[in-house]
Chain A
Amino acid sequence: MAAEQAGPVYRANNDAAVQAAPVFRARNISKVYRMGEVDVSALRGVDLDLYAGELAVFLGASGSGKSTLLNILGGLDVPSGGQVFYREREMTGADESERTGFRRKSVGFVFQFYNLIPSLTALENVELVTEIAEHPMPAEDALQLVGLEPRMHHFPAQMSGGEQQRVAIARAIAKRPEVLLCDEPTGALDYATGKRVLEVIETVNSTLGTTTAVITHNVAIADMADRVIRLRSGEIFEVYANPVKKRPDELSW
C-alpha cells in the first residue's frame, strides 16, 4: 500500500467512466465539530471528484471521516470550509430548502441500519419516496430489482436484516436518482447477505448507470469498485482505480 506517500496519489487508470465530466467536485472541504471546548476536525481539506456512472468505494478506519464526507456530498450536511459542486451547481452556498430539493430530485441514500419506517410495509416504504419524486419507477419494479417483490406487503419487523437493507436500496433507487450514496450498507449483515446486497448495488450501478458511492470498513469490498478512495484522519491519502473490477460474487472476506 502507498500509505507512506503524502497527499492523494492517482494511480494510472483507463476506465472510461473516469474520463467523463465529474458529477461531484469537492475542493478543499473541511468539517469541524465543536464539542464544547475542543474542536474535532472530521475532514481536513478534502479534494475529490466523482464521475458519472462510476462505482466508488470509500475505505477508512472508524472515525476517519467517511460518513461526514458522504453526508456533505449528499446535501445532508454542510462543510465548515471549501466548496462542493454538483455538476455545475455550487452546493456550498445552497440553503436548507435548496438542499432538500437536491436530495429529493437527485440522491438516493442507503444506511447501515436500514432506517425503514416500521409502521409501513416494504412497498409503502418505497412509495414514501416515489410519491415525492419527479420520474420514479413503479415501486414494485424497484422491489423486483432487489428481488423482494414477493415480500412487498410485509412490515420491516417481518423481514431479516438483509431483506430490510434490500428494501432500503429499493427505496433509494426507486426515484431513479443520479447518485446512490451507501454508508456501510453491509455493516450489519452476515457474509452471504452482505454479498447479496452488494450484488444489488452493483446491478443498479451497471444497469441504471447510477453514480454510486459505497462506504465500507471491509477492504475486500474495494475490489468491486471502479475506484477506491482511502481516508485517514479526515484526509484522502490514496485514490486508485481497480485494474480489474470483480463481481460481488467473486469477492470473499
Chain B
Amino acid sequence: MSILNRKVFRELARMRGQVIAITLVMACGIMLYVSSRHTYISLLQSQESYYALYRFADVFAGVKRAPASTAEEIARIPGVSRVRTRIVMDVNLDVPGLDEPATGRLVSMPERRRPVLNDVAIQAGRYPAIGRPDEVIISEAFAEANGLTPGDRIGAVINGRQKALHVVGIGLSPEYVYEVQGTGSIFPDNLRFGVIWMARDALGAAFDMEGGFNDLSAALSSEASERDVIDRMDLVLEPYGSTGAYGRDSQISHRFLMDEIIGLSVSSNFTPAVFLGIAALLLHIVFSRMVRAQRDQIAIMKAFGYRNLTIGWHYLKFAFLAVSGGTLLGIVGGFLIGRPLTALYQDYYRFPDLVYALNFEVITLAALISVSAAFLGTLHALRSAMALPPAEAMRPDAPAHFRPLAMERLGVHRMLSPVWRMIFRNMERKPVKTVLSAFGIAMAVAILVMGRFTFDSIEYLIDYQFRTVQREDAAVVFAGPRPARARFELAHLPGVVRSEPYRAVPVRLRSGHRMKQTAINGLDPAGELRQLIDRDGRILPMPPEGIVLTRTLADLLAVREGDMVAVEVLEGSRMRGRLPVSLLVDELIGISAYMDNRALNRFLGEGTTISGAYLSVDPLQAEALYRTLKETPAVAGVAVREAVIKGFEDSIAESTSATTFTLTVFACIIACGMVYNGARIALAERNREMASLRVLGFTEREISVVLLGEQAIVTLMAIPIGFLIGWGLCYLAVDATAQELYRMPLVITGKTYGFAFLVVSAAAVVSAYLVHRQLRHLDMIGVLKIQE
C-alpha cells in the first residue's frame, strides 16, 4: 500500500467518531432513498402486472338497467376492445360478530368461465360451484377484518329478503386494490364494507336483472381515445339511466393507488435529498477543518514535489472512504427495510402478490448520489488544498485575528465572564462555520418537525372534516330518492336525537372544456349537522340560491364565485341546466358541491324529495339503532362516523408511525452527528488553548464550558431556525402531495415543536457528554510540546 494510502487509513481510524457520524447520516439518506425507491418500484410493478394479469378495465359506467344487447352496441364503438357487463348492488349484510350494519357490494361473475375483465384473484378456497347460487367469494380485506374464512356464512338482505351466503373463497380484484365504498367514504372500513362476488344468475334473479345489467366495463385498444369512447358510450347508455362513463383516473381504487404511487415517487426523492444535503454539509465541515489543520502537511508534500492533483485525490479518497461505509450500509439496509415498508402498504392496497426485487438501477444511482455528495461536500476543502501555495503554508499560522466585534460594540461583553467572552468571540470570528453548524442542527430539527407533522395534519384533518364539517353521528342513505316524510320515520326511531334530511344527486359539472363528476348535496339550511366553513374556519350560512363548491373543485373547474357552471344530472330526469356559483368553502377531503335542498328540489323540478338523512344519535341506544337500520330494507347504507374515523386512522396510522419513527431516529443521528462533530472540531482546533487554560489552573469543568458553551449556543440558535425550515419542508410536502381526494392541511402543533426541541436538545447533551469525556484525557504537556 502506498504511503499516502496508509496515511488515509490511519487518519480515518483516528477520526473514527466523525467518520461514524458521517457514515450514519449518509446511511440514513441512502437507506431512505433505496427503501422508498424500492417500495415505489415494487408498487408500480405490482400494479402493472396485476392489472395486466387480471385484466383491469379502462372505462367504467353504471346504469339503472340496460338490456344485454347494449353491450354489443358498446363493443362496436371504435377503440373498445372488450366489454363486460355485470350486476353490481350494495346490500346490507349481517356479519357474525358485528353489531353495526355492514355493506356488501355484490358483484356478478360468469358461472362457467373467468371474467374477461376485472378478474378475481383467488387467495384461498375456490370458485363458486356451478348451480350453487349461495356460494360466494369475499374480498380478502373484509374477510381478514371480520375473521371470515371459507366455510363461514354471512347473511345478506337481497331485495328485501334475508339470504344466507356461503363463503367458499377469498379473493382480490384490480378494481378494489384500495377497497372503499365510493365517493361518500373514501377511507377503507374493512370491517363494514366488503366486496362479494357471486354467480350472475343468482344476482339477476334477485334484482330482476335477468337479461340485463347495471354495470359495464370496457377495455380499450392501445390507440383509442378515452375521451371519445366515453362520449359515445354516454350516448348509448343515456336512455338506461347512466350515471356517466368514466376512465381509470376517476376509478376510486386506481385513483388512490396512483396518488399514493406518485406521492411516493415525489417523497422518495425529496426526503433523501434533504439527508444527502446534510451529509454533504457534514463532510464540508469536517474536511474544511481537516485541510486547514493539515496546511503544513500539504505544504511539505508540495515542497517535495507532490502534484496538486495527487493531493486533491488524496483528500477525495478520504471523503470517498468516509462515505463508502454509509453507502454500503444504506444500500443493504434500505433494501432490507424496504420490504417491510412495502408490506405496510399491503394493509390497504391489496395485491395478490407484491413484487419486491433488488433494483440495480436504484442501487447504482444511490452509489452515484453518495459519490456526488462526497464530492460536493469536499469540493471547497479540495480546492483550498490544491490552491494552497507551499511557501505560504510553511509559515506558522498567524495568530487568529480578533477585532472588536458586535459584542464589544454593543457593550454586552461587560456583562459576560471572560469565559463567555471567549465563547462569543470565537463564534463571531468564524461566522460561516457557526452558521453552517447551526444549519446542520436546524435540519435535524426540521426533519423531526416534518416527521411529526403527518400526525398533526391527520389529526387536524379528522377533526376538521369529521367534527366541524360533518357533525353527524351517522349518515343514512336510502335505496333511492324518497318523499320528505321518510325523515320523520327516521326521527321517530329510538336513539335518534336529531335527523336532518339531505338530497344527494350525482352530476357532472362543466365549465368550458373542464369537467368533473361529483354529487350535489342538498342540505337543510336550518340544519346543524353539516356546516359550510371557509378557510378561516368561519361557519357560513347556506345561500338560498346557486351552488356552493369546495375550493378544490372550483380550482379544477377554474371557476370563481359568481361564475356559472353547467350541470348535467346523472339520475332520473337526467336534466341539464346552469347554476351560479354562490359560495366557495374549504374542505380537506373530496370535491363536494352543496345547495340549499329546496333550491335543489326546484332545480331538479321535483317535490320535496330526500336521499337520506344525517343523524345525531344517543350513544346509549346507538347499537340498537344501527341494528334496526341494518334490517330496514329501504336503507341502502349507514355510515357511522366513529367507524369511518377509525377506519381512516387505522389505515394511515400504521404507515405514518413507521415513517415518523424512521425520521425521528434519523433526525437524532443527524443532531448527534452535527453537535458531536462541532465539538470534536472545536476540541481539535483549540486543544492548545484548552491545555493552556488547564495549565493556568482552570478546572476540567470550566474548560468544558468554554468548549461546549459554543455548541450549546449554536444548538439553541439552530432550533428556531429548524422550526422555520421544518415548516417550509412541510409546506413543500403538502404542495407536492396535494390530491384531489384529500389534502393534508399545513398544521404543526406546539407538541411537535416541543418534541423536536426535546429530541435535539437530548442529542446535543449526549454528544456534549461524549466530547466532555475526551477532555478528561487532554494531555497538557503533550499538547503544548507539539508545534502547531
Binding site for B on A (CB under 8 A): 67, 71, 74, 76-77, 96-97, 100-105, 107-109, 111, 113-115, 117-120, 124, 127-129, 131-133, 157, 171, 175, 183, 188
Q: CB within 8 A of B305: which of A67, A105, A111, A127?
A: A105
State whether A76 touches B6 (Cβ < 8 A). no
Q: Which residue of B lies closest to A174 (CB)?
A: B304
Q: Which residue of B lies closest to A76 (CB)?
A: B391
Q: CB within 8 A of B3: which of A67, A128, A157, A183?
A: A128
User: How long is the Cα–Cα vector from A20 to B2 in the complex, in angstroms?
Assistant: 39
Q: Which residues of B from 1 to 36 have beta carbons under 8 Å from A?
A: 2-4, 6-7, 10-11, 14
User: How long is the Cα–Cα vector from A152 to B240 in the complex, in angstroms?
Assistant: 98
B2 neighbours in A (Cβ, 8 Å): 131
Say yes or no for B206: interface residue by CB 8 A criterion: no
Q: CB within 8 A of B303: which of A103, A117, A124, A131?
A: A103
Binding site for A on B (CB under 8 A): 2-4, 6-7, 10-11, 14, 296-297, 299-308, 389-391, 394-396, 782, 786-787
- 8 pairs, CB–CB < 8 Å, chain A vs chain B: A67-B394, A76-B302, A76-B391, A77-B389, A77-B390, A114-B787, A131-B3, A188-B787
User: How long is the Cα–Cα vector from A28 to B495 in the complex, in angstroms?
Assistant: 110
- Identify the 8 closest CB pairs spanning chains A and B, nearest first: A104-B305, A77-B391, A76-B391, A71-B391, A103-B305, A115-B300, A119-B10, A128-B3
State whether A117 touches B300 (Cβ < 8 A). yes
Residue in A105, A119, A129, A175 whose Cβ sees the most chain B Cβ within 10 Å: A119
- Contacts A111-B394, A132-B306 known; list 16 others, CB within 8 Å: A67-B394, A76-B391, A96-B308, A100-B302, A100-B305, A100-B308, A107-B305, A109-B303, A109-B304, A113-B787, A117-B297, A117-B300, A128-B4, A128-B301, A132-B304, A183-B394
State whether B7 touches A117 (Cβ < 8 A). yes
State whether A115 touches B296 (Cβ < 8 A). yes
Q: CB within 8 A of B304: which of A97, A114, A129?
A: A129
Q: How far is the CB of B383 from chain A (nearest CB, A)?
A: 15
A188 neighbours in B (Cβ, 8 Å): 787
User: How long is the Cα–Cα vector from A108 to B305 in the complex, in angstroms?
Assistant: 10
User: How long is the Cα–Cα vector from A103 to B299 in the complex, in angstroms?
Assistant: 12
User: How long is the Cα–Cα vector from A107 to B303 in the complex, in angstroms?
Assistant: 8
Q: How far is the CB of B296 from chain A (nearest CB, A)?
A: 5
User: How long is the Cα–Cα vector from A96 to B307 in the complex, in angstroms?
Assistant: 9
User: How long is the Cα–Cα vector from A120 to B11 in the complex, in angstroms?
Assistant: 9
User: How long is the Cα–Cα vector from A76 to B300 in the complex, in angstroms?
Assistant: 10
Q: How far is the CB of B386 from chain A (nearest CB, A)?
A: 10
State whether B6 touches A97 (Cβ < 8 A). no
B305 neighbours in A (Cβ, 8 Å): 100-105, 107, 132-133
Q: How far is the CB of A116 from chain B (nearest CB, A)?
A: 8
User: How long is the Cα–Cα vector from A97 to B6 in the complex, in angstroms?
Assistant: 25
A76 neighbours in B (Cβ, 8 Å): 302-303, 389-391, 394
Q: How far is the CB of B774 from chain A (nearest CB, A)?
A: 17
Q: How far is the CB of A160 from chain B (nearest CB, A)?
A: 9
User: How long is the Cα–Cα vector from A183 to B297 in the complex, in angstroms?
Assistant: 16
State whether A115 touches B304 (Cβ < 8 A). no
Q: Which residue of A lies closest to B12 (CB)?
A: A119
User: How long is the Cα–Cα vector from A133 to B305 in the complex, in angstroms?
Assistant: 9
User: How long is the Cα–Cα vector from A128 to B301 in the complex, in angstroms?
Assistant: 8
State whether B389 touches A124 (Cβ < 8 A). no
B306 neighbours in A (Cβ, 8 Å): 100, 104, 132
Q: Which residue of B lies closest to A160 (CB)?
A: B785
Q: Which residue of A lies closest to B11 (CB)?
A: A119
Q: How far is the CB of A96 from chain B (nearest CB, A)?
A: 7
Given contacts A77-B389, A103-B303, A103-B304, whether A113 and B7 have CB atoms under 8 Å apart is: no
State whether A124 touches B390 (Cβ < 8 A). no
Q: CB within 8 A of B782: which of A71, A133, A157?
A: A157
Q: Which residue of B lies closest to A155 (CB)?
A: B10
State whether A74 touches B3 (Cβ < 8 A). no
User: How long is the Cα–Cα vector from A109 to B6 in the complex, in angstroms?
Assistant: 23
Given contacts A77-B391, A115-B394, A188-B787, whether A120 and B3 have CB atoms under 8 Å apart is: yes
State whether B304 touches A104 (Cβ < 8 A). yes
Q: How far is the CB of A11 from chain B (nearest CB, A)?
A: 31
Q: How far is the CB of B299 from chain A (nearest CB, A)?
A: 7
State whether A119 touches B14 (Cβ < 8 A). yes
User: How long is the Cα–Cα vector from A131 to B304 in the complex, in angstroms?
Assistant: 11
A124 neighbours in B (Cβ, 8 Å): 3, 6-7
Residue in B3, B4, B296, B308 whose Cβ sees the most chain A Cβ within 10 Å: B3
Residue in B306, B394, B396, B782 whose Cβ sees the most chain A Cβ within 10 Å: B394
User: How long is the Cα–Cα vector from A133 to B306 in the complex, in angstroms?
Assistant: 10
A102 neighbours in B (Cβ, 8 Å): 305
State whether B303 touches A74 (Cβ < 8 A). yes
Q: How far is the CB of B393 from chain A (nearest CB, A)?
A: 9
Q: Which residue of A lies closest to B786 (CB)?
A: A157
A105 neighbours in B (Cβ, 8 Å): 305
User: How long is the Cα–Cα vector from A127 to B104 in the complex, in angstroms?
Assistant: 82
User: How long is the Cα–Cα vector from A131 to B303 in the complex, in angstroms?
Assistant: 14
User: How long is the Cα–Cα vector from A104 to B302 in the complex, in angstroms?
Assistant: 9
B7 neighbours in A (Cβ, 8 Å): 117, 119-120, 124, 128
A157 neighbours in B (Cβ, 8 Å): 782, 786
Q: CB within 8 A of B299: which of A115, A131, A171?
A: A115
A133 neighbours in B (Cβ, 8 Å): 305
User: How long is the Cα–Cα vector from A118 to B394 in the complex, in angstroms?
Assistant: 16
B304 neighbours in A (Cβ, 8 Å): 103-104, 108-109, 128-129, 132, 171, 175
